[in-house]
């Protein structure tokens, strides 16, 4: 089995002003050395748009570590700097606990489904 690549860990879709980033289960085994590659892949569509709305769909991921947390923070800061916002969807109980421990659960809105998150961001 080959080592997971950063582009195996995410899919990115554009829906007008909204960027939907869906994490795959490969995120859980992503090598820390691929952080910059993953960051470039994910941040490119955010960097190109003012007022960007970003939704991370984490419904197929049970847990993630500090590397992905750092990536979420980088994306959030970039989106804010471009006049946008970010939300999370489908966060597992285990991941919610990590977000609670780091107080990031009060920084990003968390929705049960990607559809709820997308509708909420587009309604604002």
Give the residue extent of every domain in the chain: 6-123
Q: Which fold has domain 6-123?
A: Transcription Regulator spoIIAA (3.30.750)
* pLDDT 10s digits, 68-116: 898 999 999 999 999 999 999 999 999 999 999 999 999 999 999 999 9
| DSSP characters over 40-81 | HHHHHHHHT-TT-EEEEE-TT-S---HHHHHHHHHHHHHHHH
Q: Which residues is 53 bridged to in the sheet?
A: 18, 85
The pLDDT assigned to 56 comes to 97
pTM of the entire structure?
Answer: 0.89
Residue 3 has pLDDT above 70, yes or no: no
The pLDDT assigned to 7 comes to 52
Residue 5 has pLDDT above 60, yes or no: no
* pLDDT 10s digits, 10-57: 899 999 999 999 998 888 777 767 777 888 888 998 998 899 999 999
> Angle at Cα 51 formed by Cα 112 and Cα 38, nearest 5°?
65
């Amino acid at each position: 089995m080959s080592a997971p690549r950063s582009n195996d860990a995410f899919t990115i879709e554009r829906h007008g002003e909204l960027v939907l980033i869906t994490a795959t289960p490969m995120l859980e085994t992503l090598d820390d050395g691929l952080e910059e590659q993953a960051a470039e892949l994910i941040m490119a569509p955010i960097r190109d748009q003012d007022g960007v709305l970003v939704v991370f769909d984490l419904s197929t991921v049970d847990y993630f570590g500090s590397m992905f947390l750092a990536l979420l923070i980088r994306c959030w800061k970039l989106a804010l700097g471009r006049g946008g916002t970010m939300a999370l969807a489908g966060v597992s109980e285990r991941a919610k606990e990590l977000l609670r421990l780091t107080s990031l659960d009060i920084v990003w809105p968390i929705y049960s489904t990607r559809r709820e998150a997308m509708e909420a961001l587009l309604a604002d």
